[in-house]
Amino acid sequence: QVQLEQSGGGLVKPGGSLRLSCVTSGFSFSNYFMSWVRQVPGKGLEWVAYMSGSGRSLFHADSVKGRFSISRDNAKNTLYLEMNSLRVEDTAVYYCARDGLVVVGSLDVWGQGTTVTVSS
């Protein structure tokens, strides 16, 4: 069974850092692009970053570029999101998601979400 299990959220002060993890199982992790998507309270979904299966191709949204970094450890079947210089506006539920194998960018499996709260 394909599963994405997230951890690492919490409360952090502005300017602080957090690392989110997404442990996967049930599929060949290294074959898939993976993404992070967030939902600010009361708002819609916002795509944050993606990384190819090999890790050679990656992209970050402008809103997080230079502050957030997506990475992966294929030996551990785990996706990460390193978040630095956090701002109040980064408060959101963060989801990891698997990209479709054929249609990259269609997010066909999602983690349960983890809440990040940035507040003083």
Partner 1 sequence: EIQMTQSPSSLSASVGDRVTITCRASQSISDYLHWYQHKSGRAPRLLIDSASSLQSGVPSRFSGSGSGKDFSLNISSLQPEDFATYYCQQSYSTPWTFGPGTKVDIK
Site residues, partner 1 (CB under 8 A): 35, 37, 44-47, 50, 59, 61-62, 95, 97, 100, 103-108, 110-113
Identity of the residue, 28 or 112, whose beta carbon is nearer to partner 1 in the bound complex? 112
Structure tokens at 57: 């191709």
Smallest distance, Å, CB 75 to partner 1?
A: 26
Smallest distance, Å, CB 84 to partner 1?
A: 20
Q: How far is CA 91 from CA 32, 44, 72, 115, 116, in A?
A: 27, 13, 23, 8, 5
Smallest distance, Å, CB 66 to partner 1?
A: 15
Identity of the residue, 25 or 112, whose beta carbon is nearer to partner 1 in the bound complex? 112
Identity of the residue, 84 or 110, whose beta carbon is nearer to partner 1 in the bound complex? 110
Q: How far is CA 104 from CA 16, 43, 53, 119, in A?
A: 32, 24, 11, 35
The answer to whether 9 touches 21, Cβ cutoff 8 Å, is: no
